[in-house]
Amino acid sequence: MGVPRFYRWISERYPLIRRDVGFGEGTPIVDNLYLDLNGVIHTASRADEVDKPVLSEDDIFLNTFKKIDELIEIIQPTELIYFAVDGVAPRAKMNQQRSRRFRSAKERLEEAQKSAETELISSDNYFDSNCITPGTKFMLRVTEALTFYAEKKLKEDRRWENLQIIVSGPNTPGEGEHKIMEYIREKKAKGKLGNNKRHCLYGLDADLIMLALVTHEPHFILLREKVNMGPGSFGKSLMPKPPKATQTGAGSALDYELLSIGVLRECFDSEFSGLKLSFYDLERIIDDLVVLFFIVGNDFIPHLPALDIGEGGLDMMLRMYKHLLPGQGGYINDSGTVNLNRLERVLRELARIEGDTLVRRREMAKHKGRGAKRITIDDLWTDDVPELKSSNQRRSAPTALDSRRQDLERVIDAGNSENEDSDASDLLPDEALIDLVNLAAPENPLEVHVMLRKAYYEAKCGFSPDNMELLSTIVEDYVKVVLWTVKYYYCGVVSWRWFYPYHFSPMLLDMINLSRYSDRITFELGDPFLPAQQLMAVLPPSSSWALPQPYRRLMLSEESPISKYYPVDFKVDLNGKRNLWEGVVLLPFVDERELIAAMDTVKPEELSEEERRRNKPAKSILLKKATSPNRPAEDRRIVKSPIPNVMKDFPAGSDLEEVEPDVNVEPFHGRKPDGVLEPVNDNETLGGWPTLSSVPFFSAVRPMMVNVFGHPSKYASFVVTPGNRIDEDHEPTPFLPFQSVDHAMRLGLKPGNRVFVGYPFQAEARVEGIMDSTTVVRFGQDGSVVREKVTGDRFLDLKMKTIERQTTEKALRMVDSTVLCDVRLPKTKNTFPGEVQEYRGESKIVAGELLIPWYRRSSKREVSQNYVPGQRVLCTEKLGFHGHVGTIQKIENVVEDEKEHVAVVDFLIPAAASTEIEYSHKIFEADKKATWFSPGDLGSSLKMFPPLVSRVTGNLLVSIADPKKKVIDIGLGVKSPRIRCYKPGYARKVEPKRMSQAVTGVIYEYSEETKKNNTDV
C-alpha cells in the first residue's frame, strides 16, 4: 500500500514525470520488465457482479494470463520478465497485513448485514480475497499456474524465445517488490546488471517510486493503471476494474500511465542544484529524500500526528530540508545508514509547528460532515519560528492547566464520536484532542502543545508522558523502525521478526537527543515465518477456512491459548484522518512465542501432504528456452496444466533451474553507475527514453493550480519553461526552433515525416500538418500535400488552447509558440528504428518547440577560416554523414598559430539513418583492422582445394537420399556474389584478397564438426 496520497502528491508536484500511454505510444524500449503480481491477482479475482458474482479458479487464472499478456504487449521487454508474488513478509509488514485483512472482513460482514444477507456469507458463494496470502491452497495453485503460463509462452510464442523468465512465488520469502529489488541489487553488486540497463516495474503501490529511486538506476520507468483520484474517490478501492465480458483483445478498455524515474531525478537535480552546495551530490539528495518520504508514513513507520500529505506536509518538509541542508555539512542517508544527528535536526524543525498544526485542525473539526474544510499547514513553517523548550523544561506543565486536564480526560472518555465523513462505527474520539484547544489558553501555544501532548499519549499509547522510561522506549522504537525501514530498502531484510510494537508514533516534540540510541539499536536477522505461521498471524476468524484444517481450532475455539488474538469486533482510530481506510485498526499484537507454541501442538502427521507442501519454503525458478529443444518428447519433463479443462499438458520446451539467492550482497550505494549514458537524442541506445534535456529549459517551483487528476492542486508544482534564462533579472529567451512553416519545412518538419511528441516523453508520431499565423501545410483529401492561407485568429485560438493545456496538465509554461503541428500517433508500438508504422491512432495539436523531428548528431570537421557559427553546410565525405545538411555550432582552434580550425557541426538526420551511420562506422573500422587473404592463401593454410574454400564459404547445395528431404544449403553463407551480399568482417568484394582471417577459424570448426558427425562432406 505504501504512503497514502503520495502518488497523487508527487504527480501534482512534478507533473512531467508521468503520461498516459496506450498500445502504440510512449513506451520506450525496455530490457527488464518486473511484474508485482499481487495486484493482478486481486483484479483477476473480481467478478462482474451482474453476470457472474463468483469466479472459479480457472476463470481467475485465465484472467491473470490475459492481464500479463496485456502488460507484456505494452512494454515488450527484450531480455527478462520477473514474475513476483508476495511471499512471507517480515513481521514489521505483517502487522499492517493483519490490520488490512481484519478490516476488510469486518467491512464485508457489515455490508452483508445491511443487505440482510448474513446467512449467505461463506467461502462457497464469494471470493475471499484474504486467501491471496502465502500458505493457502489457492496461492499454491497460483505458483503452478504462473509457471505453466511462462513455460507455455516460452514454448509457443516466438517473441519470448530470447527472454529469461524468473518466477518467484508465494513460498519464496519476501514481499514481491522487495524480491525484485533483491534481484537488481545482487546483479548490480556483482557487476552483472550493465550500466545502461533499461527497467520497467509494474505495480500499484506508491512506494514503488521509492524502491526505484533507491536503485540509483536512471533508466527506470513505472507502469500502472490509471486510478480514479477525483472527488469522492478516497476510501474507495484503487484497484483497476475487472475487464468486462464484452471486451475483446488485450487492453481494449484499460488505460495505463507511465512514470519516469529518470525525469523525476532530473526534476530533483534542477530543483536542488540551485542550493549551490560545495558538497552537492544528486544521488545523496535522492537518498535523503527517500528517508523524508518514509517519515510521512508507510507500511512500516506509523503516521506522525502533525504531518499529513493532504495538508501540505511534504511541501513544507522539502522547504525545511532545503533550508537545513547547507548548514548540515552532509547528508542524512549514506547507502542505508542514517545519520541520527542530521535526521533529528529535520524532526526538530517539524516539531516547531506541531502544536500549530493540531490547533489548525480545530477548524476542520468544527465542520462535521462532508462539507468539512481541509486545512493547510504548508505556510506554518518559516525559518524564524521560535525554538521549542527542551524535554526537561517541558516536564512540568503549567499548573494553571491542571484543572482543564480533567475536563479533557472526560471528553476523551466520553465514548463514541460521530463522523459523517466515514462509514466507521466504534471509532475512538480523535476530535477530543482538538477540543482541548477550547479548554486551554489559546493565547499560549506552548501550553496548548503540552496539554495536547499529554492527551495524545494517554489516549493513543496508554501511558502518561510523565513516565520518562516509557516515553524513551517509544521514541527509541520509533527511531529503530525508521532505521529498520531504510535498511530494508537499501540492504534487504535486517530482521525478519522485529516490529514496531505500538499503533502510533511518538510526538515530534519528544524527538530529541536521538544519537543516544545509536549504540543500543541492533537487529538480529532471524528466520522468516513459515507460510502457515503467517496465515495464523494475519487472517481474521472469518477467513479460517483458508487454513489447514488442524489449525482452525486454534483460531476459532474459545479454549485456544491464542484466541485473544482473533477478536470478532475491534476499534478503528481515525487518528486525524477522514476516511475509514486510513484509520488505525486497534488489534492486539501477536506474541510469536505464544503463536508458535500453540501451532506446535498440531502434529505433522495431522497435516496432509499438500498442506505440508504449502508450508515449505521454496526458491525462485529461472526459465529460459531449452538449449536442446529437439529432444524426444519422452525425454522431456511434462508441464502440468492447472486448468486441464481449458489448456492441456505439454512436454517442456524450456530449461528450469532454481535461483540461489546471495545473502551477502552490498547495499544500494548512493552513486550513479559508471559509464551511464544520458537519454539524449544522439544516443542510439537510449534514444526515445524520456528526458527534460531534449529541449533547453529552466525551472522553478511555484503554485500553478496544475490539474492532473480532475481538479486543481493547492500546492506548488515544478514548472518547466522551454528557453534560456540569462539571470533572474531578465526575461527568459524563448526556445523557438521554428520561426515559420517554411523554416520548419526546410529543417525537415513536413507532412508525412516522423517526429517524437509528448515531451519529456518521446512517443513516435507522423506529421499531418503544420501551421503558423499565416499558412497551413497539410495532407489533402487525395493524400497530396496542400498549402492554404490561415487567419491569425484561428492560429491564435489553437495556440492559446495548446499553451493552456500544457500549463494546466503539465506545469509546462510556454512563453510563445510560432509553429503548431497536427500529428497522428501510430497504431502499435514501434520497437525498432526504421520499422514501418500504421498511423491510425489519435490526432493532436502540438507546439513546434516540443517536437523532436530528428535525432541530432554532432561531429567535428576540419574547415577553413571562412566558416562561421550558424552557417549551414553539406557533408561531402563518403562515410559518416555523407549527404546530410548540418549547422556549424562553433569553431575551435586546434593549434596555437590558429591556422588550423575544426568546426563542431550538428547534423539533423532520421532516426533510422542515425543507427545505420553508427553501424557503418563500426563495419568500416573493423574491416580496416582485419587481415585479408585470397582463397588460394586460405586453401594453403587449411590444406584445402581453393575452389572448395570458395564453395564452402558461399552456397553449397546438396541433396540427401531421404525422399522427404529437399535440396539443402550447407554452405557457411559468409558471401553470396550472385546477390552482391558479403558478411561484414568475413568477406568483401575486393580482388584478390576477399577473405578475412576470421574465416579460417570458421572453416576449421566446420571441418571438425563434419568429421565428428561422420559425414561425407
Q: What pLDDT is stored for residue 354 in this prediction?
A: 87
**DSSP labels, 328-355:** HSS-SEETTEE-HHHHHHHHHHHHTTHH
Query: What integer pLDDT is reported at residue 120 of this predicted model?
Result: 47
Q: Which residues contact 18 (CB under 8 A, 6 or more apart)?
A: 11, 257, 258, 259, 260, 708
pLDDT tens for each residue of 370-407: 444 556 666 666 665 555 544 344 444 444 344 444 44
Q: 335: Cβ–Cβ under 8 A, 6 or more apart, which residues?
A: 287, 490, 667, 668, 669, 670
Coil/strand/helix, residue 857? strand
Which residues have CB under 8 Å from 678's CB, separation 6+? Answer: 686, 691, 693
Query: Residue 197: pLDDT band by 50, 70, 90 thresholds?
Result: very high
679 inside domain = no
% of the chain residues with pLDDT over 90: 47
The larger pLDDT score, comparing residue 27 to residue 58, is at: 58
pLDDT at 428: 42
More confident position, 877 or 13: 13
pLDDT for residue 966? 66
Sequence-distant (6+) residues with CB within 8 A of 410 are none
CA angle 83, 89, 95 (to 5 degrees): 135
Non-local (6+) Cβ contacts of 416 within 8 A are 425, 426, 427, 429
Q: Are residues 920 and 943 in the same domain?
A: no
- Indicate whether this model's pTM tops 0.85: no
The last residue of a domain, from among 834, 850, 866: 850
Residues 747 and 843 placed together within one structural domain of the fold:
yes
Tell me if 163 sits within 8 A of 35, measured CB to CB. Answer: no
| Between residues 93 and 826, the one the model is more confident about | 93
622 and 771 part of one domain: no
Least confident of 159-163, 438-442, 443-447, 956-960: 438-442
The predicted pLDDT at position 670 comes to 85
> Using CA atoms, how far apart are residues 537 and 589, in angstroms rounded to an integer?
9
Which range has highest mean pLDDT (446-455, 513-522, 867-876, 890-899)? Answer: 513-522
pLDDT digits (tens, 9 = 90+) for 667-709: 999 887 777 777 655 445 566 789 998 888 989 999 999 999 8
- The answer to whether residue 831 scores a pLDDT higher than 90 is no
CA–CA separation, 169 vs 620, rounded Å? 7
Per-residue pLDDT reduced to its tens digit, 574-583? 776 667 777 8
Same domain for 893 and 840: no
Name the residue among 283, 374, 268 with its Cα closest to residue 322: 268
User: Between the CA of residue 589 and those of 100, 301, 476, 538, 593, what are the distances in Å?
Assistant: 14, 16, 18, 10, 12
Mean per-residue pLDDT for 783-812? 92
Q: Which among 830, 850, 870 is the end of a domain?
A: 850
Which pLDDT value is given to residue 828?
Answer: 61
Q: Find the mean pLDDT for residues 968-972.
A: 81
Domain co-membership, 949 together with 969 = yes
Residue 896's pLDDT band (cuts 50, 70, 90): very low
Give the Cα separation of 1001 and 953 in Å (integer). 12
Question: What is d(CA 435, CA 444) in angstroms, rounded to the nearest whole number?
Answer: 15
Residue 760 lies in a domain: yes
Return d(Cα 534, Cα 136) in angstroms, integer: 10
Higher pLDDT, 982 or 835: 982
In angstroms and rounded to an integer, the radius of gyration of the C-alpha atoms of the chain is: 33
93 within a domain of the structure (yes/no):
no
Helix (H, G, I), strand (E, B) or coil at 678: coil
pLDDT tens, residue by residue, 224-282: 988 766 554 443 444 455 544 333 334 433 479 999 999 999 999 999 998 989 999 99
Q: Mark 262-273 as b/e (b = at least 16 C-beta within 10 Å).
A: bbbbbbbbbbbe
Q: 354 and 264 share a domain?
A: no
Helix (H, G, I), strand (E, B) or coil at 200: strand
**Cβ–Cβ < 8 Å for 219, 199:** yes
Query: 218: domain CATH number?
Result: 3.40.50.12390
How much is the pLDDT for 441?
Answer: 46
Per-residue pLDDT at 66 exceeds 90: yes
Q: What is the CATH number of the domain that holds 747?
A: 2.170.260.40
pLDDT of residue 438: 55
Q: How many whole angstroms from its chain centre is CA 886?
A: 39
Q: Say yes or no to pLDDT of 206 above 90.
A: no
Is residue 460 within 8 A of residue 432, CB to CB? The reply is no
C-alpha cell of residue 889: 555550432
User: Which residues face 838 on adjacent strands?
Assistant: none
563 falls within a domain? no
pLDDT at 288: 98
Selection from 974, 1000, 1007 nearest residue 1015 by Cα: 1007
**Amino acid identity of 332?**
I
Domain-terminating residue out of 897, 926, 955: 926
652 is a domain residue: yes
Query: Does residue 292 form part of some domain?
Result: no
853 within 8 A of 747, measured Cβ to Cβ:
yes
Lowest mean pLDDT among 2-6, 66-70, 88-92, 751-755: 2-6
If pLDDT is split at 50, 70 and 90, which confidence band does 919 have?
Answer: low
pLDDT in tens, 523-563: 999 999 999 999 999 999 999 999 999 999 999 999 999 99
Give domain status of residue 99, yes or no: no
Does residue 552 lie within any of the structural domains?
A: no
**640 and 743 within one domain:** no
C-alpha cell at 952: 564452402
Are both 964 and 996 inside the same structural domain? yes
Judge if 333 and 395 occupy the same domain: yes
pLDDT band at 937 (very low <50, low <70, confident <90, very high): confident
| Dist CA 33 CA 42 (whole Å) | 20
Let me know whether 321 and 428 are in one domain. Answer: yes
Please name the residue that has the C-alpha cell 564452402. 952
Q: Distance (Å, rounded) from C-alpha 996 to C-alpha 36? A: 50
Question: Domain check: are 347 and 470 in the same one?
Answer: yes
The answer on pLDDT for 91 being more than 60 is: yes
DSSP line for 220-279: EEEEEE----STT-TTS--SPPPPPTT--STTSS--EEEEEHHHHHHHHHHHHGGG--TT
Q: How far is CA 416 from CA 104, 315, 770, 932, in A?
A: 21, 34, 65, 92
Total domains in the fold of the chain = 5
Q: Are residues 154 and 221 in the same domain?
A: yes
861 residue type, one letter: R
pLDDT at 248: 33
What was the pLDDT predicted at 409?
40
Task: Map grid coordinates 584478397 to a residue.
Answer: 993
Give the residue numbers spanning the domain of 484: 309-517
